[in-house]
Structure 1
């Protein structure tokens, strides 16, 4: 009998899935977690396989996978998610997931995947795994580059970003900061260059991602 931990924040899906698994003679659901924190606590169950969704209320499924790798290294992880974002899948693979299936997959396919993981198979082809790991590495490098860039912003440039995050246009930013529109545009050019951004909106997104500013209201369309 192989033990299975379900990590899924949609209770109806998790319960239905658990009932179907319980009807399989060689699989036993030993726990159902709805969050990263709960999955961390349930890692003590040492399940043979963890079926993990990527979108969780207090973090990412990749966080669960990393926790299991530390607390229950023998546990195999099958990602079962509605996400089709390769970046999220890449993060999960980098964290240690051995398989990936979309939630649209049939129950027979999911059960077969769990059994194959228990048997020691890796479900992702080597070439796809390598491609996803490379993608994760590129995204990590990009995040680090952006982090270094935002640390070099001047106080005035941060003020400009804060004004942009409020949804202000060029004239409104200039008026708020007591500068000319030409000076505001010079700051924008410098900001875009430092952050490697192609638009005001992208600059704000990068600043928000690295906690430099916060979105205080729905922004206007940046040009």
Structure 2
């Protein structure tokens, strides 16, 4: 029986997929993660296949795909995502994903995709895979030019807080630092990204998958 790891921040969707996969006689979900941090803790666990969402609360999962591949070179890795940007898909394929599917796919299609990959059968056509890899090369060049790779973990954390709509005083309280220190970090972020406003910095970071725009809740604020 093939062991499957699911990485997705939407608990309802993740658990529904796990329930569906567990109904199959040859598949068993042995691990679930809702974030990059949780998934990284499971890298040492044995798995035969991983189903991964690209956009997670604590960052892009393209790097996670690479780590999953390193941890288990023979595993089948399926990117199942709501992300529509083919450049991001290409980055995932370049990182080691065996195939990419959209979340709008039917449950049975996902099951069959996992089975195909477990048998080392191609999910995406060779021309499509080649196109994604070309886009990935272009994306890596854009990342190198963008300055996002120079951001520190703390600066990325502050960028996410800005994307979430927090003011300077709120960020300072959440991260245990002074408002002056937050301003210093923000100035460093703007300089590294070559932009002149916090809004431009957030847009820039979203484009390159550094931060995520979370769904708005009427219970917030």
* TM-score normalised by length of structure 1: 0.65
> Does 2:35 align with 1:22?
no
Task: Output one character per residue of 1:112-138: Cα deviation in whole Å (capped at 9) or x when no partner.
Answer: 000111111121211111111111111
Aligned to 1:87: 87
Aligned to 1:141: 141
SS class of match (2:43): helix
Paired with 1:53 and 1:62, the residues of 2 have a C-alpha distance of 9
Paired with 1:69 and 1:45, the residues of 2 have a C-alpha distance of 13
Which entry has the higher C-alpha Rg, 1 or 2? 1
Aligned to 1:73: 73
CA shift, 1:205, in A, is 4.7
Paired with 2:87 and 2:140, the residues of 1 have a C-alpha distance of 10
CA shift, 1:144, in A, is 2.2
Post-superposition, which runs of at least 4 consecutive aligned residues in structure 1 deviate over 2 A?
142-147, 204-209
> Does 2:7 align with 1:10?
no
Change in Cα spacing, 1:123 to 1:207, as seen in structure 2 (3 Å) is closer
Task: Output one character per residue of 1:181-218: Cα deviation in whole Å (capped at 9) or x when no partner.
Answer: xxxxxxxxxxxxxx7x9xx88xx459965xxxxxxxxx
SS class of match (1:51): strand
Aligned to 2:157: none
Matches within 5 A, 1:119-134: 119-134=119-134
Aligned to 1:188: none
Paired with 2:85 and 2:48, the residues of 1 have a C-alpha distance of 27
Aligned to 1:55: 55
The higher-RCO structure (CA 8 Å, 6+ apart) is 2
SS class of match (1:44): coil
Any stretches of 5+ residues in structure 1 without a counterpart? 151-194, 210-223
SS class of match (2:111): helix
Matches within 5 A, 1:88-167: 88-147=88-147
Q: Root-mean-square deviation (CA), in Å?
A: 2.5
SS class of match (1:32): strand
Task: Output one character per residue of 1:105-163: Cα deviation in whole Å (capped at 9) or x when no partner.
Answer: 1111100000111111121211111111111111211232344xx9xxxxxxxxxxxxx
Paired with 2:45 and 2:142, the residues of 1 have a C-alpha distance of 37
Paired with 1:208 and 1:101, the residues of 2 have a C-alpha distance of 26
Change in Cα spacing, 1:208 to 1:105, as seen in structure 2 (3 Å) is closer
* TM-score normalised by length of structure 2: 0.66
Task: Output one character per residue of 1:56-111: Cα deviation in whole Å (capped at 9) or x when no partner.
Answer: 11121212201111222222110111111112111111111111111111111100
SS class of match (1:29): strand
Query: 1:46·1:74 contact (CA, 8 Å) conserved in 2?
Result: no
SS class of match (1:94): helix
